[in-house]
Amino acid sequence: MSTDYRRSMKLAGRNALVTGGASGIGAAVAESLAKAGATVTIVDIDNNLLEATGRRLGVRAEILDVSSSEAWTDFVAAHDHFDLVHLNAGITTRRNVLDGPSDPLLPPLIHLTDEEYRRAIGVNVDGVVFGARAVIPGMCERRAGDIVVTASVAAFVPIPPDPIYGLTKYAVSGLVKSLTARLAEFGVCISAICPGFVDTPLIGEQARDWIAELGMPLMKTQQVVDAVTASLTRRVNGAHWIVLPGQDPILHEQATFPFPTNTQ
C-alpha cells in the first residue's frame, strides 16, 4: 500500500475548512484535500477570486472575515462540523512581503500606521484565535479533530523588513504550543507549519528581487501542501513543521516543562 494511498484514507470523507483559501497556500491545500476525498470549504474575503477558485476546485466557497469574532460564531453555527481546520489566512504589514520603506537608514516602525498594525493583528492573530475558539468546542465534544495553523519561519528567526509580521507569527506559534496539552486530552491535535518564502501573491516584485539577491529560491506551494499533509496524517501534537526549499518538511517538536496542564 503506497504512502499516498494511506494518507488519502486518513483524509477521505472528512469535513475540512481552509481559511485564506481563494489563492496561494490555501487554494493549494484545499485542492490537495479535495483530491484526497475530503469535503472542503474554503473561505476568504475576496469574493470574485473565492468564487472562481471554488468553481475550479469543485469545493464550497464562502465569504468569511476571519478577523471578526461575530463572523466566526455565525459561520460555525451555520455548519454541521469540521474535522480538519487549516487556519491559513495571513497578510503582511504592507501589501506585499518585504515591500517596506526603501530607505534602509530609517528607524524601524517609523512608518507603521495604526491601520496597518490592526489589520495585520486582525487577520494573523485574531483570525487564528477566533477560529480556534469557534471550532474547538465541537472537536472536543466529538473527541476528535485536527487544527493546522500557518505560522512561518519568522516564528523562529527575526524578520527585520516586517517586524509586525514576525510578531504575529511568534504569537500564533506560542498559541499552538500552549493549547497542545489540553487539546490532547480531548483527542484533538493542533500543529503549525512554518514555511520560508513561498511563491504566492504576497510576494511582490521588490521582494522577489531581494530574495533573488539572497540566493534563497522561492518555494512552490506543493512543498507547503506536503507539510500540511504530514501534519494531518502523522498528528504530532504541538509540532511545528519547518518548510525550506528543496527539503522534506522538518519536524520541530516543542520542549515540555513541568507546568500543570489542568489550569483553568
Catalytic residues, by residue number, are: 165
Beta-ladder partners of 60: 41
Per the CB < 8 A criterion, the answer to whether 66 and 89 are in contact is yes
How far is it, in rounded angstroms, from Cα 239 to Cα 231?
8
How far is it, in rounded angstroms, from Cα 221 to Cα 19?
15
Per the CB < 8 A criterion, the answer to whether 128 and 173 are in contact is no
Beta-ladder partners of 43: 19, 62
Per the CB < 8 A criterion, the answer to whether 138 and 75 are in contact is no
